[in-house]
Amino acid sequence: MRPRSSRKPSDQSGSFQFQLAPFRRGLGLHRNGATDQRRFLLLAAMTVSSHLRFTHAVTERFLRYVVIDTQSDPASVTCPSTEKQKDLGRLLASELREMGLSDAHLDEHGYVYATIPANTDKRVPVICFCSHMDTSPDCTGANVKPQIVRNYRGGDIVLPADPTQIIRAAEHPALADQIGNDIVTTDGTTLLGADNKAGIAAIMDATLFMLRNPQIKHGAIKILFTPDEEIGRGVDKVDLKKLGADFAYTIDGETAGNIEDETFCADGVTITIEGVSTHPGFAKGKMEHSIKIAAAIVERLPKTTCSPETTEGRQGFLHPVGISGALETTALELIVRDFTEIGLKEKEALLEDIVKEVMRDFPRSTYRMEIRQQYRNMKQVVDRHPEIIDNAVEAIRRSGLTPTKTAIRGGTDGSRLSFMGLPCPNIFAGEHAFHSRLEWVSVQDMEKAAQTIVHLAMVWEERA
C-alpha cells in the first residue's frame, strides 16, 4: 500500500539536527554518508523517546465521559442507534477544537473525525487511532457513578450502592497486577463504560500531549470515534475517504501490554419457525406451537461444548441471543463464533442438523434459516502488513510494558475496517469485566495506553 503523504515544510529539519548535534558526537557518528545519517536520526529519536516526561489528565477525562449515557440500541434502525451518543460526540469534537484541531467535527451519523497535522518532513504513513463511544445494551449505562479505589492493596472490592456486587479477586485475576494502583469502578448499579471510554480518554490525553510537545516527531494522525460498535454497526457509515488513513489501531483492549491481531469470525443466524395455529380449546393433535419448537431447539444446543459458558481460548461457540414471536411464528436469533471460517461453517451445519432433528417432531411446521456475515478474523488482513504489529510491539515496550500478542474472543471495529481496506489491530485500553456492573479499569493502565499511543506515533515516524 502506497502511504499517503504526511509532509510539512522542511524548515524544522535544520533546527532538529542542530539541537541533537551533541547526540551525534556522543554516538560516534560523522557526516560521512546517508547510512550514518539514517542511523543517527533513528538513535536520536529513540533518545528523545526515552527521555519523555509524561503528564496525564486521562482520569479526569474518563470520569467526565462515563457519566454521559451513550448506550446503543440494536432495535433501532437509525445511525447512530441512539441520539444520546451524539452528546459525547459533541463534547469530544469541541475538546479537540479547543486543542487546536480545526477540522474536528461530529457528522450527521454520529462519527467524530479530527487530524493531528504532521510535524516532520518525512513521508510517513497516515495512521488512525479509533475508539467507540457507545456502551453495551446488556447493562444500563444511565446515571453512572464512578468510584476510585486509591492505592489498591488487594482483596475483593465491594461496590457501595449494591453490596451484593463484589469484584472478587479470585474471579478477576488481573487485579493481582494492580497492587498500588488506582482502580475505577461503578457504584454497583450500572456498567462503567470503560469499554470503550477508557480508549477515548487515552487517545484524547495522547493527542494533547503530542500537541504540547512539538519535539515529538510524527506524521499526520487521524482520530476517529465511532457509534454503535457494541451492536455490530460501528463502521456502517464511516467515510474512509474523508478519514484518509493508511493504517489504524483501535484502542479497545483489556490487559496492559496486549496487542491483539486476531478476532473471531462472526455470523448472525435467524431461524424463523412457522407453526400451526388453532384454538387452544380444540388443539389436541392439531396445534404445533412455534415458541415451543424454538425452545426445543435451544434445549438441544450443545451444553458441555460449543457454548460460551464452556469454551475458552481458541474455541468457538453457538449462542442464542433472543426469541420473539407468538403461537404461529417465532424468530430465534443466534450468533456463531469461531477463529476460522471453516469452524464457523461447521457450527452452522451443526445448528441446522439440530433444527432438522427437532422439526421431525413437528411434521406440519416449517423453518427458514438465514445466515448473515457480521465480521471476519482481522488476522487475514493484518498479517499482510507486519509493520503494523512490529511498530505497536516496539511502542508498548518503550512504554515500559511487556508486549503480548493475543487473540480477541470477540470483535472490534477493526475487524470490519480491516476488510474495508484499513488494516486495524487492537491495542489495550485497560478495561476489564466489560458489559457488567463489575466493570473496572486502572488509572495507571489508561496512562500507559496514552503513552503507547505517543510512542507509536514516534515509531512510525522514525521508521519511515
Alpha carbon 357 to its chain centroid, in Å, reads: 39
Distance from first CA to last CA of the chain, Å, rounded? 14
107 is catalytic: no
The answer to whether the beta carbons of residues 275 and 293 sit under 8 Å apart is: yes
Contacts 24+ apart (CB under 8 A), 357-360: 357/300, 358/293, 358/296, 358/297, 358/300, 359/293
Burial of 364 (0-12, 13-18, 19+ CB in 10 A): exposed
Alpha carbon 297 to its chain centroid, in Å, reads: 33
Enter the C-alpha cell of residue 178.
Answer: 494492580
| Catalytic entry in 134, 262, 445, 462 | 134
| Catalytic entry in 195, 229, 394, 431 | 229
Strands of 183-185's sheet in order across: 147-149, 183-185, 440-442, 431-432
134 is catalytic: yes
Enter the C-alpha cell of residue 36.
Answer: 550514518
Q: Where are the beta strands (DSSP E) in 59-143?
A: 105-106, 112-116, 127-132
Residues annotated as catalytic (active site), given as ranges: 134, 229
